[in-house]
Structure 1
Amino acid sequence: MIKHICILLLLFSSILGYSQQIQDCNTWANFTTRTLRGIAIGNIAITGQHLTIEAEINPSVQYTLNSSGDIVSKHAWPADCNYLLRPDRGQITLTNGVHYSTPPICATLQGKTYHVAMTYDGEELVFYRNGIRMSSIKCSGNLIQNNWNTVIGTVATQNSLAESYTGYINEVRIWNVTRTQNQIFSNMITPLTNPTSESGLLAYYRFNSLKNLQGNTAFDGTLSEAITYPVPVPSCILADNGCPSLDCNLTSTFDIDQDICDPAHFKLANTTSNVVSYLWRFGDNIANQTTPNTEVKYQESGIYTISLKVSDNNGCSGTTSKSVSATVLPNVIENTSEEICKGQTVTLVSSISDQNTQYRWTPTLQLSNSNQRTTIATMEETTNFHLSVEKENGCQYDADVLITVPDAAKFAMTPTDSTVCNGKGVTLLAVGGDSYEWQDNEGNILGKDASLDVVPSKSETYKVDISNTKCGERASLSSTINVFPETSLSIAVSNTIDCANPSAQLYVKDGRNVVWETNETLTPNGNNAVIKPTKTTTYSAKIEDKYGCPYEVSYTQVVAFDPSSSLFFIPSAFTPNGDGKNDIFIIISNVAMNKFSLRIFNRYGQLVFNSQNQEHGWNGRYKNELQPTGTYIYEVVGNSSFCGEYHKKGTIVLIR
């Protein structure tokens, strides 16, 4: 409490003329003459809805109103102003394209020292001199952005002497937060002790150098030739404002008109003069309003507080609050929408029972009367009833209630008679009622839901009793589910797999839409497949029968090759007599050989024939001489990539 009192005393002392000693008198920058350049400090863009710009100044010339020079500028012209601080005002442009300036205050005096500041909080732009709020303007929105470098002492475009400042500047502070008046006042004569850790501080300059003391070197300053630093300021004492004190004794006034017919509805009218902004608050989570006159309707009965805050062009504001008692009327018709059966009745009642009240129900068809508070409707069809009520005081009320008469029940059951595959389930569904009971052929109860899942193994008839209990309707429906006969399906093979026949074709009789299970030794060919196994392998397929019912079948191909029985055909005798019949002893094979050798020996063990060509046989000669009739020994060696190694010895008879 003591702290707050001291602050208020300091504020009022400043207003009344009490001067304060600033702490840094020797590190100022002197703008000795108007300059186009100023001190450029980089593109210090401020986005969003919060800023504070501060500086200490001492003008070397006597400025007049509207001719005071730019202290800190990031603007080119009014429509392109991220921010601009002058000795007598602050200015910004918002993304809605509107330029805002606080009303100019009195001019500064030559040779006098001042602290100037501007703030924006998304609702209001405020200008301070010596920590005192001097002027403001209401505005809302985001700050416009531009690519101009921020400049101290002249316009950011650096092309206008008319906007240049002549005099001393120090303690320039640029923030992207909204500083409070107390923060501005408490720190305006004292240098920041820890600028690198100040929250929201973007740049800070004391002109013993051009460095940004906040620490971001991208915002270090660049010097113009018309500026000297550091120099002492002519006066180290904050001057009086020289401006008249603002009389902020502003009180808002407004009138309330409660609707006699709807006592939860209020019309509100501002009666305060010479104000420029309005803020209505209603409580009950109702959105605030900013128009001079407005209205509010409460959704629940109760006591509410309505307040109006108004502000004038000087930034002064005042607030007044009033309590109101809101009464929310009940629905004009007590009934709510409902559904009843055809021919049934419903009593319709108005909630308004005052004497000398007139009632009118429409449409009148189906009603026992149309001009009484209570009427009875005998329902034949869906109807939206409308009630108009006029009370003795002239208040009129209207309301509707919908009475629905459902169509006659449409009972149905799906599927109707149908046939399914053996072992396949089917879902039976009944509609149109609110009660169901399923039975089988023998009268066994199977379920009491709207649907029933069954898996018949034979033809079966299912019955369902459906009821609409509300309107007393019922029906019994049935459906016969037949079962397709089972089909015997199997996989057949075209031939035996052996050394002579390494592949075979699989096929399915009486099947369709065959899907073969993937196997590296199987090549699908429509409903058939070619197999080439190297070992015993089982092949599987998914097949549909002629009814479309699915089956899974398999076939196992046994592979046990006996090369000696199937690789070669070896004759037991031959007759090389030149008659063209059986003149050559040759070994026949329908299998391609990787290696082949045939050798024949006489009874003395002498090699009489040798060939590595499977197609060459012995003609019964040795060194082109006929060999005698007799028994000879052969040795055959073969190798097949499919059937492997074959080696056999035997005898052959040569007959002449």
Structure 2
Amino acid sequence: MKIIYFLLLVFFGANTILFAQYNLVPNPSFEDYNTCPSSISGFAYSSDLTVDLWYSGSGGSSDYFNACAGAGSWVGVPENLFATDQPAHTGDAYGGFWTDLYDDGSYDYREYVQVQLLEPLVAGECYYVEFWSAPATQSDFFGVSHATTDAIGAYLDADKIGSEGISGVLSETPQIDNNASGNYIDPPGEWTRICGFFEAEGGEEWICIGNFHEDDETDVVAYEGGSLDATPLVYLFVDDVLVTPADSLAAAFLNDTIVCAPLTLNALTCGDTYLWSTGETTPSIIVYETGDYWVQIESSCGTLSDTAEIIFVVDTVNTTNTDIHICFTELPYTIEAFGGYDIYNWNTGETTSEIEIDEAGTYYLSAYTECSHFIDSFVVDVTEPINIGLDLGPDTLICAATWSLTLTAPAGYDSYDWNTGETTNSIVVSTPGNYSVIVYTECEVFNDAITITTDPNFGETLNLGEDLELCPPAGISNFILVATEDLPNYNWNTGETTQTITVNQAGNYTVTSTLPCSIISDDVTVTLCNEIYVPNAFTPNGDGINDLFEIIIVDPSRILSFTIYNRWGELVFDGGAGAYQWNGKYNNEEAEMGMYAYIIVYSDANGENAILQGDVTLVR
């Protein structure tokens, strides 16, 4: 059968204790003592109690700390052997014990504290158990303790727990076990609440607090700001122990509250789940409006629930409106509230003095200071990116003797800055070069550039001159062909790439030059001279000039016969085939001056035999 307990809403801070209701634990905060502690090991198992009514849970030497011991004492408060500054959770005293000492596996040493309750627990009734713990920052003779754990709990039994001869792990299973929660006792100097509900079997009269788990079940971690040693040690303080019937919790709280500022409603932190009338499922909520609020807490005992009426009374309501204009490049943007508020509540759900946003919109802050309510609205306008499309086009080659070109950046930008100094969206250029523009919007800057080139040889032509005739027998055995100068390149059909080439064979010669705007070329034809040429006079006087009567023919082998006759018809020279020269002698004597007749038989271009006759004058 499911049990439902009704309790009033809890309006208290995270460190508030619940002693206002009925507490079955005597001397719950260790304030009462028989003698002021003077050394460690202040808890005994059976007799000679230092702290009133409290015992150790085994043969381990749990320690009692009290401000009465004075500064510099090993057992003082807030400074002692295990802590440099650890105030009591309430009052001036607390207890302490080892929860993990020999972490090397050699021995699971433990210490506990226990006390007899004021009355036995009632079978079937739900009880709430709570105590507070904090980690030590330094240890006694065993080395530095830079560690903490979540392995701590409370076990309740009808009989006194443990025995004086045991200093290891107690085998009992604690009804309140923090080990399963991962709720580490941290940070140092602050107290952590350990709490829970359980249903009594009846007759439980003793409560024992400590670590009921073996070393391999004890999770040891470095506390905040610390680091683990090779063999970490864990020592914990304990204070403010509470055991109370669950239905008595209502006695400690008010159900109806009148306030002038937002109120934090805290349910007990030891429930399994939470459901508020607002739909929230956290242990605490902040409320800003007048109304009835209820919470349901699911625990091991069943459902606990209650309702409270909260009334807000505000002296003044102040409103402000702030317009914020930013560029999209400024996102995320931080909105800062006006200073001096005590409580902040943004419509984004945040409760800090400033929030970070990543989009345009209206953001509201409901803030409070004393009994004044401030409603600040921040209208954030974000200028979105604008890309109209800046493009001056591809680099351009101009093929004209005279020209002008209009360069245009799209309209719609706020300003223009050309490298020519002009500030309009378009400019006219008439000389080659690099042109660039920078355009601006409210939030952005764009730029583009274009290179304009011209053809420096625009309109040039190639000219190799007139066709040429090659006549090697006459001394014309080659020609130098010269192309137009100062062109960027030359490509002859001979494969040469210079401005000039030398040719010694008949043929057609072409040169080409590739210009940026065109390809120009010219050609020249080189032919051989006439098939045969015969001079009409010669002077064989030995001066080295015109001493021979020489037939000029490209290929002398084409001469089949060459004969010369004097004026009386006598044969004075018979050269035969291939002969093309006469030295002016007859029978090795110098021939007389005068006119001589010649007959030349040769093979013409068509391969036919041809005869050439004529006369030549010999002059001395």
Larger radius of gyration: 2
TM-score normalised according to structure 1 size: 0.28
TM-score by length of 2: 0.30
Higher relative contact order (CA 8 A, sep 6+): 2
